[in-house]
Amino acid sequence: MLLRFWILSIIVVLTSCFRREETNTSDSLPSITDLPAIAGKDNYLQSPFVTAGNRVYMIGNQDGSFSDLGWHIKGEMGGIWNHPVKLLDGFSASLHSNDGSSYCLNSAIQFINYPVGNEHRYRWEEAGVEINRFQFVPDDLEGIVVQYKLINKTAEAKSITLTIDVKSDLRPTWLSDSMQVSDGPDEVHFDPKANLLVFRDQSNPWFAVVGSILPAEHSANASPCRSLHAADNGVSGILRVTVKLEANAESVVPVYISGSAESEEAARKTLQLLKENSGQYLSKKIDRFKEINQRSSIDIPDQGIADMYSWMKFNTDWLIREVPSEGIGLSAGLPDYPWWFGADATYSLQGVLATGDHQLVKNTILLLNKISKRANTNGRIIHEVSTNGVVYNRGNVNETAQFITLVYQYWLWTGDTQLVKEIFPDLKKGLEWLLTTKDPDRNGYPNGSGMMEIPGLESDLEMIDVAVYTQQALASASALASAIGTEDLPMEYAAQAEMLRKKINTDWWVGDQNSFGDFRSTSEEGSHILKAALIRSDTMKKMESVRELKSLQQRLAGKPSQREATFLIYKNWVVNTPIETGIASREHALAALATSAKYQNAFGLFVTGIDKTDEADSVVLASRKKIFSYTGAVMTLPTGVIAVGAARYGQADQALQTMKKLEYSFSYALPGSMYEVSPDFGMITQAWNIYGVAVPIVSGIFGIHPDAPNKSVTLSPKLPTGWDHAAINNVRVGDNLISVSIKREGNFLLCDVEQTVPEWSVKVETNATSDIVSDDNANSRPDAEGHYKLKGKKLSFRFHHNK
């Protein structure tokens, strides 16, 4: 069984509050034993973890070691990064006693993850010493704090030397070669007055500094525990710190790491701040994560879902990347996607809006728009940009449409019309690009790549997700155009959106399969793609898929045509986007949701339906560890899309069942996190995971639909079967905070609604007439539009839940 949010049975000192202990010494950090925590599994101690701030993050292994990770820069995506440069590959540590014995700190017996940092626990049996290593990254600083706590479990005093063997790797981030920026050889020197190792790249002004507040000396002898590779331009430097460890007592050895891509002086200044204020920095970070935990906080009968929901908010914070030369935005995932993406952000930030960090959403929107304008002149939104500002892909077709809808969602949640006015000209250009340049036959379906990165489907076909997100973008742009007072555009966009909605429900529906199609093309084009799909299925030995595809091939062989038709060949997850966005007819949506169940395993939905396996676990688990690939994968985003779609159509039970599949991947490998590919492959933490958790809960189960520009909220709550209560608190909508409590009473749901700003309107949407139970302001009748005008801050009502 997975260890969950409160692990009191394992770590007795953990409780459910965020209390901290004050300390007056600079070498001891505030207590974190009252923070939420999850302990890792023994069989995943050699897999990665992350501790992160907005400027710096560190990726190592849960056992305390560091290893080669990643493929964007092969083997170099782990270690300590201060984008757009890397600082260190990592460090090895060892203990040496005065009797000549030693112990390597690279095989922790337990790993514990906290929202603000992590802890490795070791036991040196021979010496009777236990060691806890804790690390965290302060907010807004280019540095990290690592604290070793040595605990003498014997009645004998000891002299212990801690050796830290640091491996530098001052190198530029991905795509720097296109900027003519290259990695130079590193050099290191020891500053005895300041107890510092100073690393420098000889070709660039990049520096890393490592030190302690305790007296230290430099050693020329390599640590016997060194495990880091040396096949790059990095060098090693060794610090030795000796401490007197009294009987039955403990001693703390703090280690500080800082860096700069500008100067040695800047790196030294940061390290001095860490020395002087690390306790305060940790306290501030604890307080900030307490506030994160309180935003849109939930109380539900399913503790596993509640824990996953809370930690998805924490995961999001770990992925905020601030690079002064570019800006601040939510990155995609670690270790290989620590930069910014168009499509990823459009999913992720919908979950972030629902959980209250509206400033992060605004920052990311502005960042993506700025970079896209720099790379494109036509409103096209980029797909992927490195932290040095180099754009790798100028944008797939779906991303421009999705970005427009993201801005619309941001506007609904915040009421920030000023931002809409600022970037609407760019959104208008993007729509023009979609509907003209990318739609040469003017049928409303732009041609080109969507979310599916499959050979043959990246060409100029008409893809289902591109069509659906374009329809959604037109509807969104209509509302935004109206908000800023344009004359003709709102009606024009709305008419096009309605036309597309109807066409998608007819042109794209494959009735005999109860599913929307993958793509539209001529029979000749479709036959070529079908042949590639057959080869794929046959190679993967998916014989059921082979039989289905051969049957389709025979049907097509007798009907050659140059007319476009809809094909359902790969059964990719994107066929569910009409359900996700709510444009599918209810009949089609419910049928397609039922069909989606055929292409799932215990962890969720297969990216490509024809890859489905009947194995107990996905092929991800063992057979694909050595090669990064999405073939045969079950992924969190496709599964999340099903949860969002089910919730949108009022299927609370199916939404919950789908989120339970996501929960199986939560803490599977990295405690407190969810991998990109279920359950333990790809990125160890992924931004879009919050989408499939927060949106179905906030907008689906609690039914909160914001309209901040009009100071209004619509409620349409739906409790899953078996839940007798649910509550959500402090949901930010504009400058208002909404809280909703639901209780089941016989055939009714009793709802209490509270808000912090009086006189917002609340519209209750149910399938039966709502009966007001009580109203503190004696205003117990809705207006003609169904709004309850709150003169105060509280409203209670009830309605039939079985209608």
Give the confidence band of 768 by pLDDT, cuts at 50, 70, 90: very low
Give the confidence band of 745 by pLDDT, cuts at 50, 70, 90: confident
Strand locations in 261-413 (E): 297-299, 320-323, 327-330, 333-334, 340-341, 384-385, 391-393
* First-to-last C-alpha distance (Å) of the chain: 37
Q: Reply yes or no on whether the pLDDT at 700 is more than 60.
A: yes
Neighbours of 112 (CB within 10 A): 26
Q: What per-residue confidence (pLDDT) applies to 788?
A: 63
Instruction: Give the mean model confidence (pLDDT) for residues 419-446.
Output: 96
Helix (H, G, I), strand (E, B) or coil at 559: coil
Paired with 794 in beta bridges are: 754
C-alpha to C-alpha distance for 297 and 57, rounded to whole angstroms:
26
**H/E run at residue 548:** helix 543-557
For tokens 């190679």, name the residue. Answer: 539
**For 352, phi and psi rounded to 5 degrees?**
-65, -40
For the domain bounded by 702-800, which CATH number is listed?
Answer: 2.60.420.10
Q: Which two tokens stand for residue 724?
A: 């007798």
Q: What per-residue confidence (pLDDT) applies to 1?
A: 38
**H/E run at residue 24:** none
Q: What per-residue confidence (pLDDT) applies to 82?
A: 98
Pairing mode, strands 712-715 and 761-764 = parallel
The DSSP symbol for 29 reads P
pTM tops 0.85:
yes
**For 20, phi and psi rounded to 5 degrees?**
-135, 155
Q: Reply yes or no on whether the pLDDT at 199 is more than 70.
A: yes
Burial of residue 694, with CB atoms counted within 10 A of its CB: 0-12 exposed, 13-18 middle, 19 or more buried? buried
Burial of residue 785, with CB atoms counted within 10 A of its CB: 0-12 exposed, 13-18 middle, 19 or more buried? exposed
Q: Which two tokens stand for residue 697?
A: 């809960």
Helix (H, G, I), strand (E, B) or coil at 598: helix
C-alpha to C-alpha distance for 55 and 247, rounded to whole angstroms:
40
Q: What ranges do the domains of the chain cover?
A: 38-290, 301-522+564-699, 702-800
C-alpha to C-alpha distance for 357 and 672, rounded to whole angstroms:
20
Instruction: Give the mean model confidence (pLDDT) for residues 244-248.
Output: 95
44 neighbors 669 (Cβ within 8 angstroms): yes
Burial of residue 563, with CB atoms counted within 10 A of its CB: 0-12 exposed, 13-18 middle, 19 or more buried? exposed
Convert 441-468 to b/e letters by CB count within 10 Å (16 or more is b).
Answer: eeebbbbbbbbbebebbeeebbbbbbbb
Pairing mode, strands 787-789 and 761-764 = antiparallel
pLDDT digit string, tens, across residues 520-576: 988 888 888 899 999 999 888 898 899 999 988 888 776 666 678 899 999 999 999
Q: What per-residue confidence (pLDDT) applies to 493?
A: 97
H-state helical runs in 651-726: 652-665, 691-695
Q: What homologous superfamily is domain 38-290 in, according to CATH?
A: Glycoside hydrolase, family 65, N-terminal domain (2.70.98.40)
Domain 301-522+564-699 has CATH 1.50.10.10: yes
Q: Reply yes or no on whether the pLDDT at 215 is more than 70.
A: yes
More confident residue, 802 or 114: 114
H-state helical runs in 376-509: 397-414, 417-432, 464-483, 489-507
